[in-house]
Structure 1
Amino acid sequence: MNPFKTYLLLAGLTALFGAIGFALAGPTGMLIALGLAVAMNLFAYWNSDKAVLRMYGAQRVEPQSGNALLRNYYDDVAELSRRAGLPMPAVYIMESDQPNAFATGRDPDHAAVAATTGLLRMLDRDEIRGVMAHELAHVKNRDTLTMTITATLAGAISSLANFAMFFGGSRDDEEGHSNIIVTILMMVLAPIAAMLVQMAISRTREYEADRVGGEICGDPDSLARALKTIEAYAKGTVNYGAERNPASAHLFIINPLHGRGMDNLFSTHPATENRVKALIKLGMDMKRRSPAANGFTSVPTTPMS
């Protein structure tokens, strides 16, 4: 996203903080909430990546890991980073049966990529490379700052709105408005925060990351296969971290939520079928441009030890 959209997003989230503060304690509450929002913006810029990684219990992967699958994962991220012209990001693993992955960090020099244990178990090595190339494309395109800031702030707004819903209704304001009005207002603010995230994170971001990721790994077809596999398993496998923190759903390569009820408000991902079609077309175009070789060398899959 360009800087203007980023500033607009932060302004919108800050305004929501202020509205909730006003509903809780009038003008004084609004000032306190706005001060809190400024502090949260600063925190999110410097620490949102660490907060998201902690949220999912992500563990850092070292290059000398005793697990062959983790070593392959680390080595492939290192090679793909070189191909993309990026600094080596921190590499993390998350314990979850659902295959999925995301990238985070305020800039390419402070980036991290994370994959679930389910992703490493269920996909072959070429497909994993495609997924990580997609995540590195987010880093290269500088999407990750906006993605992690929105995850942090939207989650905080939802929590504050829920707090206001339970405790803000005990106060009638100076004009005598009823408690029920305050309660209803708080009930709709959390969904508004979710909708703001959905609108702010453009679906074109995923298409662009697919395109750039396909070029980085040199094998768009592997990424296309990975997307189909991830979506199939994501529908039937609960990602408990994402269900507890739905405002972070847009970080993942495929929506990790089940899509029930309010989860639909966080559906920032384009249809997987359309993404697959675009990747297949990209693969055909790459082969036409370079019939003999497109710069991709298939890496044999190493079974998990």
Structure 2
Amino acid sequence: MNRIVLFLATNLAVIVVLSIVLNILMAVFGIDFGSYQGLLIFAALFGFGGAFISLAISKWMAKRSTGARVIEQPRNEAERWLLDTVSAQARKAGIKMPEVAVYDSPEPNAFATGPSKNNSLVAVSTGLLRSMNKDEVEAVLAHEVSHVANGDMVTLTLIQGVVNTFVIFLARVVAGLINNALRGNQGGSRTGGGGFAYFGLVILFEILFGMLAQVIVFYFSRQREYRADAGAARLVGPQKMIAALRRLQQGRESQLDDRMMAFGIKGKLSRSELMMTHPPIEKRIDALQQGRFK
């Protein structure tokens, strides 16, 4: 319930902030959001704005939604080892030391998030620490550090912003064309005006176009996983990463929230690879064995 409330409150706050910005743009620049140019500005504002606000608060959201505890002063040898390992990997990868956290979950998983390479968080689950040996945990940490070093959080945010923009824009254009045709309104607003029928069509096309857009986002997410695996292989050696992946095969699918799942070490299963944020583990192992994605 706390996760649901947090999710709804965050999205409401994003909408409020963007609506205020939208009203300022209308008042200051006199933008006509009934034109295609104005609609594109509206779509970009909400498409990129929502994505970048989510990125800016990603560490805060991750800590709140998982209950992750940042290790500031190690309480035991295991926590000291985690800090030392991530520190060494961060130096080798050429990034600032991320925050390191542990969250309570029986599933073996880990994730990285944050608004930039030098302002990031790497978190591991208690289930991962219990089920893996040190070599395997080291490889998982290297995978997450590689996500940070590759700038994957920003890259995926940009991709999400682009597809969000086109989903919002195209849904309203197509809905407007259909609404005008049904009403015989040839001289009305080019973007379709208003009314319940128009907004109903907008919602329908946003869902349809959004599903198609996710295929694009998921494709890039899978490519990032291959590159993060390769980065981990460079940091700790391919055999450790392969061993960690084989260990993950024995666990259940990811229980992380959708916003963080793309940055976890393991994703959810799907009947079609097109709808997976992570490639099948066997394909990831094969890529490492064949030396691809170096």
Q: TM-score, normalized by length of structure 1?
A: 0.63
Structure 2 Cα separation of the partners of residues 281 and 32 of structure 1:
46
Residue 214 of structure 2 is matched in structure 1 by 194
Contact 2:48/2:164, CA 8 A, preserved across alignment: no
Q: Deviations over 1:156-195 (max 9, x none)?
A: 89xx9xxx9xxxx9xx944336677555424313312322
Q: Percent identity?
A: 27
Matched to 2:47, the amino acid is: A
After TM superposition, the structure 1 = structure 2 runs for residues 222-261 of structure 1, keeping only pairs within 5 Å, are: 222-235=240-253, 239=255, 241-242=257-258, 245=259, 248-255=260-267, 257-259=268-270
Aligned residue among 175, 180, 185 for 2:181: 175
Residue of structure 2 in register with 1:94 after alignment: 103
Q: How does 1:1-305 map to 2 (within 5 A)?
A: 32-44=42-54, 47-50=56-59, 52-54=61-63, 56-148=65-157, 173-176=179-182, 181-182=201-202, 184-201=204-221, 203=223, 205-217=224-236, 219-235=237-253, 239=255, 241-242=257-258, 245=259, 248-255=260-267, 257-259=268-270, 265-280=274-289
Partner of 1:299: none
- Between Structure 1 and Structure 2, whose CA radius of gyration is higher? 2
Distance in 2, matches of 1:42 and 1:209, equals 22
Note closer, same or farther for the CA distance 1:268–1:241 as it changes in structure 2 (3 Å cut): closer
Give the C-alpha shift of residue 119 in structure 1.
1.2
Contact 2:47 2:162 in 1 (8 A): no
Residues 119-148 of structure 1 show CA distances to partners (whole Å, capped at 9, x for unaligned) of 111111110001111111222222232235
Alpha carbons 2:59, 2:121 under 8 Å: kept: no
Unaligned runs of 5+ in 2: 1-33, 184-196
CA–CA distance in 1 between the matches of 2:218 and 2:92? 31
The SS at the match of 1:119 is helix
Query: 1:93 touches 1:114 (CA, 8 Å); kept in 2?
Result: yes
Q: Is the 8 A contact 1:105 1:148 kept in 2?
A: no
Please give the alpha-carbon distance, in whole angstroms, between the structure 2 residues aligned to 1:34 and 1:190. 15
Change (3 A) 1:229 1:136: same
* Number of residue pairs aligned between Structure 1 and Structure 2: 242
* Structural RMSD (CA): 4.0
Whole-angstrom distance in 2 between the partners of 1:224 and 1:202: 17
Greater relative contact order, per chain length (Cα 8 Å cut-off, separation 6+): 1
Q: Is the 8 A contact 2:59 2:120 kept in 1?
A: no
Measure the CA separation in 2 of the matches of 1:144 and 1:220: 24
In structure 2, the CA distance between the partners of 1:148 and 1:72, relative to structure 1 (3 Å rule), is farther
Shift of 1:223: 1.4
Query: How far does the alpha carbon of each residue in 1:43-68 deviate from its partner, in whole angstroms, 9 at most, with x for none?
Result: 255x0532552464252432423244
Q: Is the 8 A contact 1:89 1:112 kept in 2?
A: yes
Residues 260-282 of structure 1, C-alpha deviation per residue, up to 9 Å, x if partnerless? 68xx6541323322322343466
SS of residue paired to 1:252: coil
Q: CA deviation at 1:154?
A: 9.4
Change (3 A) 1:108 1:42: closer
How far did 1:91 drift? 1.1
3-state SS, counterpart of residue 127 of structure 2: helix
| 8 A contact 1:58–1:92 mirrored in 2 | no
In the superposition, the TM-score normalised over structure 2's length comes to 0.65
Tell me, which stretches of 5 or more residues in structure 1 are unaligned? 1-24, 283-305
